Amino acid sequence: MKVETLVGNENQEIQNSIIKQLKDLINFKNLEPGDKLPSERLLSEKFGVTRNSIRIAIQKLEFYGILKSIPQSGTFVANIGVIAMNGMIDDILRLESPDFKSLVETRILLELKTVRLAALRRTDEDLELMKEALDAYSEKVMSGQDAVQEDLLFHLAIAKATRNRTINTFMLTITPQIIIDFEKHHVCDKSQAVQGIKEHTEIYEAIKKQDTKLAKQKMKDHFSVLYQYCYGVK
């Protein structure tokens, strides 16, 4: 998994335009709850946008339960009724991009729970993924390079170890903006990045030992600087 593939989100206006047009198809009875969505190629031609833009819009609507993807069958409009669906789509279109503080609050609350589940459920394969991300982070930091993406990959590996698809999807959803904001705000200096090697290693070792209490405490310690940055308190 590469974070670079997550960061290149399409323009928000294009996404909203696609969602509005899909809403119109539903309202004008071209699509109804339970119907199969046309192919990405057909939709891209109909809406005059790239297939990648269509794909991202569909993924967003899948995340919110408006569409449902069935392996080997295709993507279908959720069977939740047109009135309810219109209200949900309107809410999605009104959503504003979360600010940095909101993302940090969400990430801290989520990951303190995530790390406990990871410690309980992790497999040897999960540990390998975490170690791979940890080693990549350490290598970049020690060579003086920016390691924000490797940092986030380590945390995504922890999310994957929970075996909870919703948590994993949510982390994948908020990660791109976190990366952008970290780089924009220059949150971590070199000394903090070096300290991060030690903190990541301690989190990894606690998960490896399946010590849920220790894992949560080490994750809390890891977030202390970020918490201070956002709130100006210790």
Q: What is the mean pLDDT of each run of 10 residues along the chain (234 residues)?
A: 43 87 87 90 94 89 88 89 88 74 83 96 97 96 89 93 90 74 62 89 98 96 79 58
pLDDT at 149 (0 to 100): 85
pLDDT at 188 (0 to 100): 60
pLDDT at 2 (0 to 100): 44
The pTM score is 0.64
pLDDT at 6 (0 to 100): 41
Distances from the Cα of 94 to the Cα of 19, 20, 104, 181, 206, angstroms:
12, 12, 21, 22, 41
State the angle between helix axes of 100-121 and 190-208 in degrees (0 to 180), rounded to the nearest 10. Answer: 30
pLDDT at 10 (0 to 100): 47
pLDDT at 47 (0 to 100): 94
Closest by CA to 65, choosing from 31, 89, 95, 36, is: 89
**Integer Cα distance of 37 and 55 in angstroms:** 12
Query: Which residue do the tokens 């047009």 mark?
Result: 21
State the angle between helix axes of 51-63 and 82-94 in degrees (0 to 180), rounded to the nearest 10. Answer: 110
**Integer Cα distance of 115 and 21 in angstroms:** 40
